[in-house]
Structure formats: C-alpha cells, structure tokens
Structure 1
Amino acid sequence: MTERVSVGFTGGRGGVCGLSWGQIAIWRAIQRLVPDDASLNMSWVTALEDEGVSFGTPLARITDTVASVMARHESLRTRVRVDDVHGPQQLLARDGTIEVEVVDATRETAAAAAKELQRRLTEPAFDYAGEWPLRVGAVRVDGEDVVTHAVFAICHLVTDRGGLTALVRDVLAALAGRPTTDPPDRQPYEQALHQASEAGRRQSDKALRYWARHLAAVPRDRFGTPDGPPRFVSVTLSSPAGDRAVSVLAEREQVSSSAVILAAAAWQLARQTGARESVLQVIVSNRFRPGLADSVGPASQDGLCVVEVGDDGFGPVIGRAMRASMQAYLHAQYDPVALDTLLADLGDVDLSCSFNDRRFDAQTPVSAAAGVTADGIRAALPHTTVSREPVDHYGARYFLHVNAVPGTLDLTLFADTSVFDETKVEEHLRGIERLVVAEALRVLDATDTGSADTEPAAAEAPV
C-alpha cells in the first residue's frame, strides 16, 4: 500500500532574484541534457536501523526531518522560472507543503522496496518551475508505525557534490532526533544578491581578466576537422598500479594526487594534438571560499587551466600543473553571462576539453606512498582493466573524470570520436598510466640503488 503524507514547512524568507553563478552553471548543464536531464538527479537511501541512525522510528520523525531541512535550506524551497525579460530566476518560497510517499512492506522486503522507491523518485526529470526540488519517501514495516528506510531524491539545482555532504549530514542528524541548529552557511539567494552587487562585479571582473589573458593560449582548431557528426564513447581505465605510482609522485613533488593526474592528462593531450601547452577547463568546487564550505547550494564553476608541457621531462610538468590549477581555482568565480560576451568577442575558441576530479579528498597533499615499492607497482600492472560503452551525446569533445575508487587510478574519458579517433581513446588512458608508472619506477629504482635524484629525462608515453 502507498500513502502520501503532506508536510508543511516555514522558512525565514522568500523572494525572487536572478540565479547565482553556480546555479547558472548547473542550469545550463541541465538544458544541454534535455530530455535526458533526469540523469543529473541525485538520490540516496538511509537504512535507519542498519546504519544505526535510529531504531523504532515513527513516521513523524521522517515528516519532522523534512519540515526541518526544508526550513533550514533555502535551496530546497527554490524553484526556477524563465521569462522573456529576465531569463531564469529563482523563486524562493517562505513556506509551503511537500508530500512524503510512504510504502508499506515487511521487514524481509523493506530494503528492496526502498530501492524501488528510490528508482521511482529519481528517474523522472523535475518540473523546475512547478515542483519542489526535493522528493521524499519512506518504507514502513509490518503494519506498524515504524519506518526502516528513508529515501531522498534531489534536483541538481539544489546543490552540487560539495554541498551534498552538508545536506546529508543535516538530514541524518534530524532523522536521529537531533536536528542541526547552527546557522547554515551562505544560501544561494544570498549568494546571488552578493554577486549582483558592486563587490560581486569586481570579483567577476578580476576573474575574467585572468581568462582574457590566458584564452590566447587556447587553440582555435585543437582536433582538426570532424569526419562526420558528433558521436561519443565512454572508456574507463582502472589501474591499481597507477594509483600507487601517483602516490609516489605526489609525495615526491609535495602536491595533490589530482595535480599529478592533471599533469599526465595535459602531457598526453599536448602530445596528441601537437601543442606545447594543454588548455583544459577544470571543475572548481569553490568550497574553499568564506561562507561556502557547507553551503547547500551550487557553487562549482569551470576554471581555465593552462599547463605548459614543453619539451622537458614529466617531473617538471607536475609542478607546473599544480601551479596552473591553483590559478584556475582562484579565478573560478565569475558571471557566466559576462564570460559568454568575452568568448564572443574573441571568436572561435575551443574550450571542449575538461578535467574533473570527483574524489572528495583530491586536493589534499598525499603522503600515502609509504610502503610502495617498484616491485609492487610492477606486480599490479597486469590487474589494469579497460571497459567501454557508447554514449548518445555529451557536452564536450574530451572530458576526463577521475573517479573515487579506493586504491585504484580510475579514469573515465568521454570523447567525441568524430575528432578523437576511437582507437586513440583507450591509448590515451593507457598512456597516462604508462607515464605515471614509468616516472614512479624511475624514482623508486633510483632510491633503491642509493642513487641521487637526477633531472628527469623526457618521458616517452605513446599517444
């Protein structure tokens, strides 16, 4: 049996204003994917008893949780309206009513019922103007007032990966009967008002001056003429040996593992396109900025990262990639509409290459190389796997994702094979693995023989 329970909520304020820059970035991503925009929806199931959150939980605890988080986080009560004059605007409601879908099951079938409920709540695209960007469900067992599973599905406009952690934390606290009372970090509505102010304009202008200086390095024709309409493939390489090698290089250079992987990708891309520099857009969370660490709202934007590869060895490129990424991070808050104007003035600039490290701890310096040996890296090499699948469409010609797989360098490359030959996609990923492995083995072998480090020779990594 399914029941729908209405939950009222009241927040602190309501109003109408433009989207924040982070919201614009997500809104554009959604529009590019229509009619497949539901693929950006996010969801999770909390098994209350199995996860030790609460026991014998009444349905009222679920409805109280929903009312609490709806009141606390303005993005959960924000819808988006598009009009011909102002474009997309956020409509923040002060109060309202939301439904919780309750499904009855037995204790034996509760977990399966929760998974099915998650699927039903997550699959449909949201009605961005007419629906709250949160869907909630609960599994009640054995005809009692006991809920064993709570299900949450949210629209990507609510937040990005960085803000999802704060939202889940607040949900779990409320489900445990201890709702968070500390003031939340900056809300999207407040962020949008700040960004529309004079101070916000100055911040955007500073970032765009950086973009203008470095866009000159972006090639106008990076991959050559397409051999037909765009067609996409997704290839994933999983390499335990690569993960060990990256940790060795990150510790040697005292940089993040993300910088090592970015450097290897930049090296491969430069070699494959015949350039001395690699220009990639990197996804920047912006969570290091004041007031945004735990903000439940979209804050991520693209940063422009220009990595000089040159003709010397791979070692120096790692340091240059780290410095280039830091500059990209510092200049990744700007008005996307103003960037559109800048790009239009510059003409045909190819920004079709992107890099996204999906790991939460990607920016922390790595000291996990203790115990890694050359023999261990060599022994792990046969365990590398590669998988592929076709993709209907994608928003970039080259998009490299670093996936959160513990103990493994896990890379997924989405590529447009009309300009990036399909046979070269796997080779590109294997070239990244070969590059980091060869450099790490050089470092470890030199250490094992007691040799002092010498200037790295130019690495060879076929593309």
Structure 2
Amino acid sequence: MTLAFTAPDAGTGPLTWGQAAIWDAIERTRPDDRYFNFGRVLKIPGERTPEEVAAALAGLLATHGALRTRLDLSGPRPTQRLAAGGELPLLLSTAAPEELVAELTAEPFDYEAEWPLRVALVTDGRRVSHVVLAFCHLAADGFGAEVAVRDLRMLLLRGAERLAERPPAPRPLDLAHWQAGPEGRRIAERAARLWERVPREVMFDGAAGAADRPRVWRAQLDSPAMDLAVRAVAARYRTSTSTVLLSATAALVGRATGRERCAVLPIVSNRFRRDMAEIVGMVSQEGVFAVDGVDRPFGTLLRAADSATLRAYRSAFHDPSDRVNGDWVQPLCCFNDQRLARPGPAPCPPEEIRAALPATTLRWPLSQDRLNCRFCVHVSGNLQISVTADTAYLPRAAMERFLYDLESVLVAEAGA
C-alpha cells in the first residue's frame, strides 16, 4: 500500500543538538550505519483493516513532525526539512513481526530522500494483527519511539479527536530554533564548562594488536544473577541500578586500559524538561562521566559515583559544536542504558544470586567493519549487557572476559 499523509506545518532549520550528535556518529560509521536503525512492534487492539491502520498512521505522521523530517545536505552544514505531506510505502506481509523488524532495519536510510520511518503491517488480507515500525535514529531515540507507539495505539482506539484535545506535540524544528536562541545558548555554555572541567584521560588510545575481520564485534551476556546482584548493590548503597552498572563499567575500563582515572560517555535521555518529555525526536546525547581511583574497592568507588553521575547528566544537554576540546573522549568509550523500565533497588539473598549463575549465557549477535565508538556497553532487557568494540583496541577474548568480570564484580559486591 501507499499511505498519503498531510499536515498543517512545514519548514526548514538547523539540526537539534541530538540530531547533530547522531549525524556525526552516522558519518563515522558509514557504510555500516544501519547499526543505528531500530524497530518497535505494536499489537493491534481489536479488529482493524489495513485501511483503518493506514488512516491512524497518517494521523501519527501529522502529529509528529520528526517522522516527516529529512535532511538537506547541499549546504556547508546539514539542515532539516519538515514536509507538510507526502506518501509513505506500507509493506503488507504475513511474516512474523520479529522477521519484519530485521528486514526493515537491515539497510541504511537515505537521509535526504527517504522518510525516517519504515512500516510493515502483519495481515491476513482482511485484518491487521501487528504494526512494525523501523525508525531512523535522526527521527527518534528509544523514548521518542515509545511516544510514537503509544500515540499510534491511541489513534487506533480513540481516533484523531482524542489526540487533538491535548497541546500540540513539540517538533524537533521548534527545539532547534530554541537551542539556537538566547536561552539555548546559555544552557549550552553551562554544559560546555562542565566538559572543560573534566581532567583529560583518554580511554582505549592504544591498539592492542591486529584487528579481526570484520573489525567490530558485539558480545552479549544474559545474566539473571547479575540482574539480581545489581538491584541488591543499588539497595545497599541507596543509588540507581544504572549508576551501579556505569560505575562497574568505569572500574573495569580502568582495569582494561591500565588507568586509575576513567572517562566514560553515558547516553542520557535529556527528557528532564517538561517541554521535551513528549517529543518524538532524537534528544538523547552523551554526557561525560569521569571518576578517579577506579582501582579502589568497588563499594568505595560507588560512594563517589553519584556526584560524577549527576555532572554527567548535566553535561549531556549540550551543543556538540561547542565541544571543541571534548574530542579526547569521543568516540572512544560509551555506556548506553537502553532499558525503558529500569528495575529499582531490591535486596536479594546471596544464595538466590548464586543459584541463578548457571543460567548465564554469552553470544555474539553482531559484527561489522565500522563503528563510531571503540568501546560501548549497552544495557537492555532483564538483564542483557553487551560490549561492542573495535577488536584492534579490545580483542574478542578481552570482550568476553570484560563481561564475565562485570558479573563477578557485582555478584561479589552483593555478597554472593
């Protein structure tokens, strides 16, 4: 099918800070930039025909300008172009939703010519059971995609009138103009000063040897024991599970690189402002987490980590073009907690944690030639932790050892 959509607004403008940051990552990763594509699946409520679902999708595109925004690369700097209408192809398929996610995210987007959303409908010809959405990362981050899925479900259940009752959804174009204005510049300058105050310590600056082919690999550890341990450690030290994992990552990065001071870039959602909570857009950016003495006992390190984590969050909402002297940390060492629902702290008996250890598994789900990072830890699911690394700087055996050491450190700190 072809979906025609219209909207009351259009315009052009600079990129937002988040768009500029992900565009830099995309350019560093090409031609393997499909890496940044991601998908979502919505199970259709009730009985809906393909035409009814298409109408709801048209309403979604009209509501959220990010989904009808493309790049203009003709000038000295990329700009964004918001369109008032167009046509979006819809794939009709009988395949499983998971297969369609893989299919729709397998190829890079054409950032100038293609809409930043690909859609498939799982249908038997008369009714649709699932909608599969593949997002270009320029258009949405993980939380933005969840807003889009929620609004699509609302459109299917209650129609466009219900969405029209609330204030208009913010657009990346509006955010870009605000960021370029006086208030945005004041915030950007404060963030730039935070970056400038971080002592320089370069992670993964020396090659460890010959790289594998492909050069970039991902190792993923699924560890129910680590999930329990992280929550128990967070409860003991009265902090978040994300801070526990970030601090443990920093400690092991220090061990891997032979440094007592560690700088890691956590990816921060930046949805702390009320006007940004509901935006479909790329607002996530990296902050800078820097801590000394990563070779000290983990509990001692964790006590010092809360203030470093807060500074990292404050530094994340920044203009990448201001970070002239910040290239010493990027794109070397990143941390991305992608969990949309993060389990809170919870004590756990050590014997329960030990009993879960045999369920740990490790696999290698990804390999490719190029990536903007030399090293990145991703946290997802319950609890899946992966290391994606340039094997010239961290060989595959060291990646595997890193993940098992992470589990060991946290399980031991939980007393198991």
TM-score by length of 2: 0.90
* Mapping 1:35-50, distance limit 5 Å: 35-48=31-44
Q: Distance in 2 between matches of 1:120 and 1:422?
A: 27
Q: 1:138 to 1:278 in 2, by over 3 A?
A: same
User: Does 2:106 match 1:123?
Assistant: yes
Q: Distance in 1 between matches of 2:55 and 2:275?
A: 27
User: Does 2:398 match 1:412?
Assistant: no
Match of 1:456 in 2: none
Q: 1:418 to 1:359 in 2, by over 3 A?
A: same
Match of 1:451 in 2: none
Q: 1:419 to 1:176 in 2, by over 3 A?
A: same
Q: 1:423 to 1:337 in 2, by over 3 A?
A: same
User: Does 2:84 match 1:84?
Assistant: no
SS of 1:100's equivalent in the other structure is strand
Q: Distance in 2 between matches of 1:149 and 1:413?
A: 31
**Structure 2 counterpart of 1:259, from 218, 243, 251:** 243
User: Does 2:360 match 1:378?
Assistant: no
Q: Distance in 1 between matches of 2:2 and 2:258?
A: 61
Please tell me whether the aligned partners of residues 218 and 351 of structure 1 are also in contact (alpha carbons under 8 angstroms): no
Match of 1:360 in 2: 340
Please tell me whether the aligned partners of residues 7 and 66 of structure 1 are also in contact (alpha carbons under 8 angstroms): no
Structure 2: any 5+ residue segments left out of the alignment? none
TM-score by length of 1: 0.81
SS of 1:420's equivalent in the other structure is coil
User: Does 2:76 match 1:100?
Assistant: no
Match of 2:254 in 1: 270
Structure 1: any 5+ residue segments left out of the alignment? 104-109, 443-463
**1:412, distance to aligned residue in structure 2 (A):** 0.7
Q: Distance in 2 between matches of 1:113 and 1:227?
A: 42
Q: Distance in 1 between matches of 2:410 and 2:99?
A: 42
Please tell me whether the aligned partners of residues 204 and 333 of structure 2 are also in contact (alpha carbons under 8 angstroms): no
Match of 1:292 in 2: 276
Task: Name the Cα RMSD after superposition.
Answer: 2.5
Match of 1:436 in 2: 410
% identical equivalent positions: 35
Please tell me whether the aligned partners of residues 241 and 345 of structure 2 are also in contact (alpha carbons under 8 angstroms): no
SS of 1:424's equivalent in the other structure is helix
**1:249, distance to aligned residue in structure 2 (A):** 1.0
* Mapping 1:57-456, distance limit 5 Å: 57-85=48-76, 87-102=77-92, 110=94, 112=95, 120-141=103-124, 144=126, 146-179=127-160, 180-181=163-164, 182-214=166-198, 216-219=199-202, 222-228=204-210, 231-309=215-293, 312-339=296-323, 341-343=324-326, 351-362=331-342, 366-369=344-347, 372-388=348-364, 391-393=367-369, 394-405=371-382, 408=383, 410-441=384-415
Residue identity in the other structure for 1:162: F
Please tell me whether the aligned partners of residues 69 and 171 of structure 1 are also in contact (alpha carbons under 8 angstroms): yes
Residue identity in the other structure for 2:398: K
More RCO (CA 8 Å, sep 6+): 2
Q: Give the paired residue count.
A: 410
